[in-house]
Amino acid sequence: MTFSVRYAGRDGDGYCLRLAGELDLSTAPELAAAIDRLSDAGESRVLLDLTDLTFCDSTGMAVFVRGDNRAAAEGGWLRLTGASGRVERVLRVTGLADVLHYQPDTVDPASQSAS
């Protein structure tokens, strides 16, 4: 399955990106570029909806962390929601579920703390 990033628009207090397919070494730059475009446009609160993400390797996880670091430096946050299966397991095993305030169900980013 190919990877795609869909700009889903504002969702509460943040901007939602919906990811689908496989996030890996070859597709991670696409997500990084999408997050950078949002940041460059002044969006510092980003929710990544992982409902349709079927695979994520360490490169993808690094993009999540990099995006969160950039958002935090700008007074915002990057949050994850909707992961299942292997993607959710990797988030939990690596501890990124806690670091990135992962919520299993899609939530309104306005309800997420900016910590």
Is residue 40 situated within a structural domain?
A: yes
On whether the pTM is more than 0.85, the answer is yes
Q: Which of 66, 65, 39, 49 is nearest to 11 (CA)?
A: 49
- 34-85, pLDDT tens digit by residue? 999 999 999 999 999 999 999 999 999 999 999 999 999 999 999 999 999 9
Joined tokens for residue 24 = 């890996």
Supply the pLDDT for residue 109: 44
Q: Is the pLDDT of residue 91 over 50?
A: yes
Query: Domain of 53: which CATH number?
Result: 3.30.750.24
Is residue 31 situated within a structural domain?
A: yes
Is residue 18 situated within a structural domain?
A: yes
Is residue 113 situated within a structural domain?
A: no
State how many domains the chain has. 1
Is residue 15 situated within a structural domain?
A: yes
Is residue 44 situated within a structural domain?
A: yes
Determine the distance from the C-alpha atom of residue 113 to the mean position of all C-alpha atoms in its chain, rounded to a whole number: 15
Q: Which domain holds residue 88?
A: 4-107
> What's the rounded Cα separation, in Å, for the pair 22 and 2?
6
